[in-house]
Amino acid sequence: MNDKMNNPAERIEDYLSGQMSPEEKLAFEAELKSNEDLSELLRVYNKIETDMVNAEKYRSQEESLKETLQTLGEKYFKKGTPVVRMNNRRQWFRVAMAAAAVLLSVVALYFIFSYNHSSPAQLADQYVKKELSHLSLTMDGAKDSLQQGMAAFNDGDYERALQIFEEVYRVHPENSDALRFAGVTYMVTKNYDMAVACFDELSVKKELFSNPGLFLKAITLFQRDQPGDNEKAEQLLKQVVDQKLEGSRLAAEWLAN
């Protein structure tokens, strides 16, 4: 723990990827306001990440994939390839392992190619399933209301979780995490209009050093998928990138596809 506290890069990575607990996040944001070096490092980190993903990085990958698949096909699946007689178990095992390795390579390349050519809406859907289906709990055994709401969410008791998050936010309107979690709960239960309302309110909170409101609203619009939603969501992602808001790294990656 002390090693990580002394490593600003690791702390920034945890902060941007959402790996910090609510308590750690609040402490980190408080430090950002008083520590100019840490604040500047975060800005530089965001700038580098955004510039890297905006580069035309997928063009060479696509050509490489095509060449690799063509080579594998000619080498292993060309018609007329002579049949090898299996004289012993060891020889059969080696051939089977080689074939399995080729198959795994083809499958891996296919998924890399598919990911690089997924639409922003598809990538947002993958993000929801991977990152928003479970809320990270702190490891200190705290039993405050927000933690109880997160536990209810992770157990699939979304109604109970929503009650807790909304009550916490009613009593503590400065608790942006309660508002964010309420919005996420509305999103995963497909109450998209309420989720949008939560993220709209979150996005205008000026006191937050890093605000995920617009990024989460864009994801919600992709999920709702009503006429015009995808276009609005992509515009929001561009705004997130331009203003270097929370989620700008992923937003830039999605828009590059």
107 and 209 housed in the same domain: no
139 and 247 belong to one structural domain: yes
18: part of which helix (H) or strand (E)?
none
Q: Which of 76, 98, 117 finishes a domain?
A: 117
Q: Do 170 and 241 fall within a single domain?
A: yes
**3-state SS, one letter per residue, for 170-226:** HHCCCCHHHHHHHHHHHHHCCCHHHHHHHHHHHHCCCCCCCCCHHHHHHHHHHHHCC
Q: Tell me, what's the pLDDT at 234? A: 94
Question: Does residue 152 sit in helix, strand or coil?
Answer: helix
Domain with 249 in it: 124-256
Q: Residue type at 207?
A: E
250 in the same domain as 149: yes
Tell me, yes or no, whether 150 and 189 share the same domain.
yes
Last residue of one domain, picked from the residues 89, 117, 145: 117
162 pLDDT higher than 70: yes
If you average pLDDT over every residue of the chain, what do you get?
77
Q: For the chain, how long is the longest CA-to-CA vector?
A: 77
Burial grade of 90 (CB within 10 A; 0-12, 13-18, 19 or more): exposed
Question: What are the pLDDT digits (tens) for 69-120?
Answer: 556 555 555 555 555 454 554 555 455 555 555 555 555 554 554 455 567 8
Look at the chain and report how many structural domains it folds into.
2
Q: In terms of domains, do 243 and 199 share one? A: yes
Q: Residue 119: what pLDDT?
A: 78
User: pTM score, two decimals?
Assistant: 0.58
Q: Report residue 123's pLDDT band, with 50, 70 and 90 as the boundaries.
A: confident
